[in-house]
Amino acid sequence: MTRSEGPPAGLADLIAEADGALVRTVDGLDASAYAQPSLLPGWTRSHVVAHLALNAEGLAGVLHGAHVGQPRPMYASGEARDADIAALADAGPAELRERLLAATGRFAEALAAMQEADWDGRFERTPGSPDFALANVPLMRVREVEIHHADLGTGYTAADWPEWFRVIVLDSMTRRAYPAPFGVRPTDLDRTWHYGEGRGGPLVSGTSADLGWWLTGRGDGDGLTSDNGTLPEVEAW
């Protein structure tokens, strides 16, 4: 069996930076802001914060299980995940703040405890679901933090994503299925990304932030141009 190389070096520090910015945003919300709609359909800001806390707890549990040799899924079930988000979203701002802060700390501790051999193997999101490489956990977490930070709709937007994260988003979205191939060429990065099976199709241009936001299924493609006049179809992440 090929040994996993583990996550990219330095990613733990970048996660800590992203978590810190998220926690500061959440701490700065007044009580009434939590009940206001987020940018995610059907979710308030409380739902987004609850999801981010529970995601950190779930991924911390995955890492700890791998570290101690007791593999475990991220969530007990899809239904339990949804019910836990709804329940925590109703808990109130003070509990949400405390839970998020504790969860980010728990994830950081679990990540720091991982040894090289611990990264071998895979884990399930829920029992019986498709599995993922353990080495992808840090990338999964930083995507959740940065994208959902912008989903809060509090002033932090894709334009605030650091360049390293914009590259992660553009890379990550290549792994999704698309109805037809297309490419994107950021105006602020010297590189072209290709999506879908094969090559060809329209070439979409814009800033890496606008492209990343659109590729996650958010917004209406404002600020983007396609060389055939039509933006390709993408689904929400």
- Residue-wise pLDDT for 148-203, tens only, equals 999 999 999 999 999 999 999 999 999 999 999 999 999 999 999 999 998 899 99
Helix (H) / strand (E) element for 22: namely helix 11-27
Question: Do 137 and 173 have their domain in common?
Answer: no
Pairing verdict, β 182-186 and 131-133: unpaired
The CATH number of the domain holding residue 66 is 1.20.120.450
pLDDT digits (tens, 9 = 90+) for 12-36: 999 999 999 999 999 999 999 999 9
Q: pLDDT at residue 92 above 60?
A: yes
SS3 of residue 79 by DSSP? helix
Residue with structure tokens 């105006």? 187
Final residue of a structural domain among 128, 156, 184: 156
Residues whose CB falls within 8 Å of the CB of residue 83, separated by 6 or more in sequence, listed in order:
none
Q: Are residues 17 and 127 in the same domain?
A: yes
State the residue range of the domain holding 203.
Answer: 163-226
Question: Residue 1's pLDDT is what?
Answer: 37
Are residues 39 and 218 in contact, defined by beta-carbon separation less than 8 angstroms? yes
Query: Domain tally for the chain?
Result: 2
DSSP tag of 177:
-
- Whether residue 125 sits in one domain with residue 52: yes
Mean pLDDT (whole number) for 70-99: 97
Residues 196 and 179 sit within 8 Å (Cβ to Cβ): yes
- Please determine, for residue 8, whether its predicted confidence score (pLDDT) is greater than 80: no
Does residue 73 belong to any structural domain of this protein? yes
